């Protein structure tokens, strides 16, 4: 069974790895979609991404849980990528519960993954910036 998940995956951290392991446990083929550099800039602001899309793609490709990585530029491209993946299940963060999820109509089920504590790229960037200022 094919599983889909997506995100920026800008600075990989334990929360990403745990979510990818969980997603892979739901099927036998995990497809990860990543936001293009332009899309990350639009969503997160000018200093992002920290790592460019090719570097982010390469880092994900070497993780044992990940079978395939695709880059998408916009909502239409994301939805098309999910449809083309022929995924059965989509894994998204629990912070998306109750919100519209692009591509959810292309899968049989959506599964929510609870974030691990304070693991987030934004928190990592803030911590690094605060440590530098000291």
| CATH class of the structural domain 2-133 | alpha beta
Q: How far is CA 61 from the centre of its chain?
A: 13
Domain boundaries, the chain: 2-133
> How many other C-beta atoms lie within 10 A of the C-beta of residue 98?
8
pLDDT tens digits along 24-72 = 999 999 999 999 999 999 999 888 999 999 999 999 999 999 999 999 9
What is the per-residue pLDDT for 124? 64
pTM beyond 0.85: yes
Query: Bridge-partner residues for 71, per DSSP?
Result: 34
pLDDT tens digits along 100-134 = 999 999 999 999 999 766 767 666 667 666 776 55
d(CA 129, CA 19): 26
Nearest to 116 by CA among 3, 23, 47, 19: 19
Active centre residues (catalytic):
42, 44
Nearest to 31 by CA among 100, 90, 93, 96: 90
Evaluated on CA atoms 48, 75, 31, 99, the torsion sign reads positive
């Amino acid at each position: 069974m094919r599983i889909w998940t997506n995100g920026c995956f800008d600075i990989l951290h334990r929360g990403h790895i745990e979510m990818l392991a969980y997603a892979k446990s739901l099927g036998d083929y995990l497809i990860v979609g990543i936001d293009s550099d332009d899309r990350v800039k639009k969503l997160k602001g000018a200093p992002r991404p920290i790592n460019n899309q090719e570097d982010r793609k390469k880092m994900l490709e070497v993780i044992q849980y990940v079978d395939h990585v695709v880059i998408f530029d916009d909502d239409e491209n994301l939805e098309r990528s999910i449809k083309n993946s022929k995924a059965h299940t989509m894994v998204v963060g629990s912070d998306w519960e109750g919100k519209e999820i692009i591509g959810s109509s292309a899968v049989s089920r959506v599964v929510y993954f609870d974030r691990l504590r304070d693991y987030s790229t934004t928190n990592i960037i803030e911590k690094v910036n605060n440590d530098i200022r000291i």
